[in-house]
């Protein structure tokens, strides 16, 4: 419980606080990336860290993402715990080979002799009016790579807790930050940040009986809004915040779907080859006899992320979610 | 960490564009340029200054290295190795790279450099684990401070920079030596690693073995640079050009570069001119892209023969010494052969053990599936065996 006196904090502040607390507790935690030092990052997540901990602990690197992640590998080999900031989703692509060919495989390649406790922070998703390469939902690439944990917060509280857990993890974690929610607020109090849970657990954000919306990151507030709007249609929707795509919490997800008998997966990433396909398949395989309708997906279209002037047509919105809920074969019930 | 010395940035000074005519280059590029001719020691006056004990040690290592290459290549023909990229003809670089490092230093080999790893003390069987077709590197990198061998090109270079940087931040006396081939210098990671190393003044030595070919593609199709060593100046680090088959020269140049790195002088780029006598691997056919005449020229400039001539002329090596080196190499080869001829026992279940520190539910399910398949197969086999219960 947060105190009544607490001033609302933003997700950006919670992330910054998580970095600060991790650095204060553990001298091996190093923050590195483009503009993270003097400027405090283009989203100001690392604001004040270079001043407090010095530039050796919060380092402005040359502008080269493969070099940033590649050198982070070497630093982790030597016992440091690097937290790498990729400035934007699409700017992370040059680091892909290091991530896929090395970071994700290091523990396996060395038979567990050496792990790489690297956190790669990736601001992702659209809805901020960004020009091309500033709004991608790139999580499917990471999810498809064995050896990586992939987590994403949707609330201010989780931004703190999950980032602390990611940094504490001995395995590499791709930490996807829904940049649209950086300025979302909550009564979360940085002085009493709460328990740091291990990553890998989904959470029910809204209980309901009619159907389950399975979602994560930037789509959570949209789903909660849709669930409110659905009440007018007589649907009582449950909303599950996945929080972690790898590991995937089959237990929480399936328990919800078995209760409601219907499910819609909602995310911004493209539908074909996106995480929603895997989630729908897992739910179908595990909950088939509880399902009243096929698991549906509401996702971004299979197009390059559209420009700011058209992105509203691409992003999953309340109406599109309600349309999907309407297609969950309710007539069969009567 | 406490710092008494000036920071890297303070040493180097600011660099901002200013309107003309105030602009000046930050440093004089002259001292960073490589020598006009590849540096040589053997057969020159400089050889007189070389330590006889060092030369004898290098000789024994070269002979052993040549034998290791021959044995590993033979093992591919016997099906004991899946593939082997040979360093026959490049032994001087492999041996010198390992020899110049101290115990606490780190070696970052490329996929071709198993010999350097062996010369640093790694068990040859462990060094060849991946090439044998196993799923892991075979050794704990921390034991001999050798980064895990793997195939991607030049990606080990930023690892070396990061490790050296981390060691320096901690105030530890550690140098990283990173190896790469001429083809690898075209990769983006080569560029990014050199740039990071120079900006951070990381204690790293980059050794480029220019063996003339990236599989089949000759260097003239890789670069338009005057030499690969010239690439150093663009990053603000010295480039050195050395005869890569002259083990005394390579050893001296690398020793200087390591000393420079250790004393806070920053990174060095060393280009060693050598030649890949064998094909790219046993699976390659070099006659498709080069003439035997060219190979012959390099056989005449053989690293072992060069050193042997020097040692013999100076009376540092006789027939007995030659035989002793040969015998030691044969012993190593015989042991390697015997151990590689034993079938390794692999447990497929290990494939799930080290993907994560803590196995995910998804992996537990899949591991259980494979376990059940293996158990069923084992049961079938038991039933099929003579004297079994049958079906």
pLDDT in tens, A257-277: 999 999 999 999 999 999 999
pLDDT at A334 over 70: no
| ipTM over 0.90 threshold | yes
Residue B166 lies in a domain: yes
pLDDT at A161 over 90: yes
Residue B225 lies in a domain: yes
- Give chain A positions within 8 Å (CB) of B167: 78
Say if CB B207 and CB B179 are below 8 A apart. Answer: yes
pLDDT of residue B5: 62
Query: Residues B376, B295: one domain?
Result: no
- Taking alpha carbons only, the member of A213, A178, A231 closest to residue A14 is A178
Residue B391 lies in a domain: no
B344 DSSP assignment: P
B357/A107 CB distance under 8 A:
yes
Residue B19 lies in a domain: no
Query: Residues B263, B241: one domain?
Result: yes
Residue B305 lies in a domain: yes
CB proximity B169 to A under 8 Å: yes
Q: Give the domain range for residue B353.
A: 348-384
Record the pTM: 0.96
Chain B CA closest to residue A72: B162
- What is the rounded CA–CA span in Å between residue A215 and residue B23? 55
pLDDT of residue B389: 54
Could you say which of B163, B199, B355 has the minimum Cβ distance to residue A75?
Answer: B163
Residue B5 lies in a domain: no
Given A30, A134, A149, A314, which residue is catalytic? Answer: A134
Residue B22 lies in a domain: no
CATH number where B306 lies: 3.40.50.970
End-to-end Cα spacing for chain A: 43
Could you say which of B7, B147, B357 has the minimum Cβ distance to residue A115?
Answer: B357
Query: Residues B186, B296: one domain?
Result: yes
Give the number of other CB atoms < 10 A from CB of residue B256: 17
Name residues whose C-beta falls within 8 Å of residue B20's C-beta, 6 or more positions apart in sequence: none
Query: Residues B210, B317: one domain?
Result: yes
CB proximity B361 to A under 8 Å: yes
B165/A106 CB distance under 8 A:
no
End-to-end Cα spacing for chain B: 71
Query: Residues B219, B361: one domain?
Result: no
- For chain B, which ranges sit under pLDDT 70? 1-7, 386-391
Name residues whose C-beta falls within 8 Å of residue A283's C-beta, 6 or more positions apart in sequence: A214, A253, A254, A257, A263, A291, A295
CB proximity A74 to B under 8 Å: yes
Query: Residues B252, B127: one domain?
Result: yes
Residues A282-293, mean pLDDT to the nearest whole number: 98
A77/B162 CB distance under 8 A:
yes
Domains and CATH numbers, chain A: 9-186 (3.40.50.970), 203-333 (3.40.50.920)
Taking only the tens place, the pLDDT of each residue in A97-135 is 999 999 999 999 999 999 999 999 999 999 999 999 999
pLDDT of residue A191: 86
Q: Give one word for B382, left, alpha or beta, with left for phi > 0 and alpha for psi -120 to 50.
A: alpha
Taking only the tens place, the pLDDT of each residue in B31-78 is 999 999 999 999 999 999 999 999 999 999 999 999 999 999 999 999
Residue B136 lies in a domain: yes
Pinpoint the alpha helices (H) of chain B: 8-12, 52-77, 91-99, 114-119, 124-127, 129-132, 141-144, 156-169, 188-200, 231-235, 247-262, 292-300, 303-313, 319-340, 361-384
Q: What is the mean pLDDT of chain A?
A: 95
Preferred mutation among A31, A70, A198 to probe B, highest tally of B CBs within 10 A = A70
| Residue % of chain A over a pLDDT of 90 | 93
- Taking alpha carbons only, the member of A144, A140, A92, A156 closest to residue A119 is A92
Q: How many domains does chain B have?
A: 2
Query: Residues B48, B180: one domain?
Result: yes
- What is the rounded CA–CA span in Å between residue B346 and residue B129? 12
**Residue A134 falls in the annotated catalytic set:** yes
Could you say which of B159, B164, B166 has the minimum Cβ distance to residue A70?
Answer: B159
Question: What is the C-alpha R_g of chain A?
Answer: 20
Query: Residues B305, B379: one domain?
Result: no
Could you say which of B7, B163, B357 has the minimum Cβ distance to residue A74?
Answer: B163
Tokens, residue A269? 């990433």
pLDDT at A5 over 90: no
B16 or A35, which is more confident: A35
Tokens, residue A91? 């700017």
Name residues whose C-beta falls within 8 Å of residue B219's C-beta, 6 or more positions apart in sequence: B182, B210, B212, B213
Asked whether the bond before A247 is cis by omega within 30 degrees of 0, the reply is yes
- Taking alpha carbons only, the member of A70, A82, A91 closest to residue B189 is A70
CB proximity B195 to A under 8 Å: yes
Query: Residues B45, B85: one domain?
Result: yes
Query: Residues B171, B208: one domain?
Result: yes
Chain A CA closest to residue B138: A110
pLDDT at A152 over 50: yes
Query: Residues B311, B376: one domain?
Result: no
**Residue B59 falls in the annotated catalytic set:** no
Query: Residues B94, B192: one domain?
Result: yes
Name residues whose C-beta falls within 8 Å of residue A15's C-beta, 6 or more positions apart in sequence: A45, A121, A159, A160, A163, A177, A182
Residue with tokens 């602990």: A57
Name residues whose C-beta falls within 8 Å of residue B326's C-beta, 6 or more positions apart in sequence: B63
A109/B159 CB distance under 8 A:
no
Torsion angles phi and psi, residue B79, rounded to 5: 75, 10
């Amino acid at each position: 419980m947060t105190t009544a006196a607490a001033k609302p904090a933003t997700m950006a502040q919670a992330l910054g606080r998580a970095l600060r607390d991790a650095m204060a507790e553990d001298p091996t935690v190093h923050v590195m990336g483009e503009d993270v030092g003097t400027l405090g990052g283009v989203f100001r997540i690392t604001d004040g860290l270079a001043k407090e901990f010095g530039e050796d602990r919060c380092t402005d690197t040359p502008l080269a993402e493969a070099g940033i992640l590649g050198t982070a590998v070497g630093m982790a080999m030597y016992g440091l715990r690097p937290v790498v900031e990729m400035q934007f989703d699409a700017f992370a692509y040059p680091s892909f080979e290091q991530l896929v060919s090395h970071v994700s495989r290091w523990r396996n390649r060395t038979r567990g002799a050496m792990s790489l406790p690297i956190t790669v922070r990736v601001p992702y998703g659209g809805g901020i009016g960004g020009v091309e390469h500033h709004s991608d939902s790139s999580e499917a690439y990471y999810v498809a790579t064995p050896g990586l944990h992939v987590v994403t917060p949707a609330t201010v509280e989780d931004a703190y807790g999950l980032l602390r857990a990611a940094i504490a993890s001995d395995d590499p974690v791709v930490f996807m930050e829904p940049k649209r929610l950086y300025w979302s607020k909550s009564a979360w109090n940085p002085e009493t940040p709460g328990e740091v849970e291990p990553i890998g657990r989904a959470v029910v954000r809204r209980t309901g009986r009619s159907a389950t919306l399975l979602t994560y990151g930037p789509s959570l507030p949209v789903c909660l809004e849709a669930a409110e709007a659905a009440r007018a249609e007589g649907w009582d929707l449950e909303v599950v915040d996945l929080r972690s795509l790898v590991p995937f919490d089959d237990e929480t997800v399936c328990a919800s779907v078995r209760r409601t008998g219907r499910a819609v997966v909602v995310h911004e990433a493209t539908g074909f080859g996106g995480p929603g396909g895997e989630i729908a398949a897992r739910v179908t395989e595990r909950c088939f006899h509880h399902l009243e309708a096929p698991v549906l997906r509401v996702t971004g279209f299979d197009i390059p992320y559209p420009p700011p002037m058209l992105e509203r047509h691409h992003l999953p919105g309340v109406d599109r979610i309600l349309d999907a809920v309407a297609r969950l074969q309710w007539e069969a019930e009567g | 960490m406490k710092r008494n010395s000036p920071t890297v940035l303070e040493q180097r000074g600011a660099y901002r564009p200013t309107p003309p005519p105030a602009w000046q280059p930050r440093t004089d590029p002259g001292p960073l340029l490589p020598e006009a001719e590849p540096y040589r020691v053997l057969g020159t006056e400089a050889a007189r200054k070389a330590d006889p004990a060092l030369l004898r040690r290098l000789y024994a290592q070269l002979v052993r290295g040549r034998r290791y290459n021959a044995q590993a290549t033979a093992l591919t023909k016997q099906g004991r190795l899946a593939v082997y990229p040979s360093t026959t003809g490049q032994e001087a670089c492999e041996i010198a790279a390992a020899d110049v490092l101290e115990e606490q230093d780190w070696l970052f080999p490329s996929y071709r450099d198993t010999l350097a790893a062996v010369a640093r003390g790694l068990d040859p069987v462990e060094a060849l684990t991946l090439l044998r077709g196993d799923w892991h590197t075979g050794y704990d990198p921390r034991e001999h401070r050798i980064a895990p061998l793997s195939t991607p090109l030049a990606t080990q270079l930023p690892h070396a920079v990061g490790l050296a940087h981390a060691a320096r931040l901690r105030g530890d006396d550690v140098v990283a030596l990173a190896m790469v081939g001429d083809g690898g210098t075209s990769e983006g990671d080569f560029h990014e690693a050199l740039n990071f190393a120079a900006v951070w003044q990381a204690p790293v030595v980059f050794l480029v073995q220019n063996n003339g070919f990236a599989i089949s593609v000759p260097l003239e199709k890789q670069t338009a640079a005057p030499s690969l060593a010239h690439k150093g100046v663009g990053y603000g680090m010295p480039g050195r050009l050395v005869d890569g088959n002259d083990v005394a020269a390579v050893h001296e140049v690398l020793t200087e570069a390591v000393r420079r790195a250790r004393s806070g002088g920053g990174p060095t780029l060393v280009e060693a001119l050598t030649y890949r006598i064998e094909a790219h691997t046993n699976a390659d056919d070099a006659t498709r892209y080069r003439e035997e005449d060219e190979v012959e020229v390099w056989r005449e400039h053989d690293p072992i023969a060069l050193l042997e001539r020097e040692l013999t002329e100076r009376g540092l090596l006789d027939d007995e010494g030659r035989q002793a080196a040969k015998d030691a190499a044969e012993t190593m080869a015989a042991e390697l052969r015997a151990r590689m001829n034993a079938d390794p026992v692999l447990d497929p279940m290990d494939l799930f053990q080290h993907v994560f520190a803590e196995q995910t539910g998804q992996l537990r399910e899949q591991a259980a599936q494979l376990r059940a398949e293996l158990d069923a197969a084992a049961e079938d086999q038991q039933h099929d065996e003579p004297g079994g219960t049958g079906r």
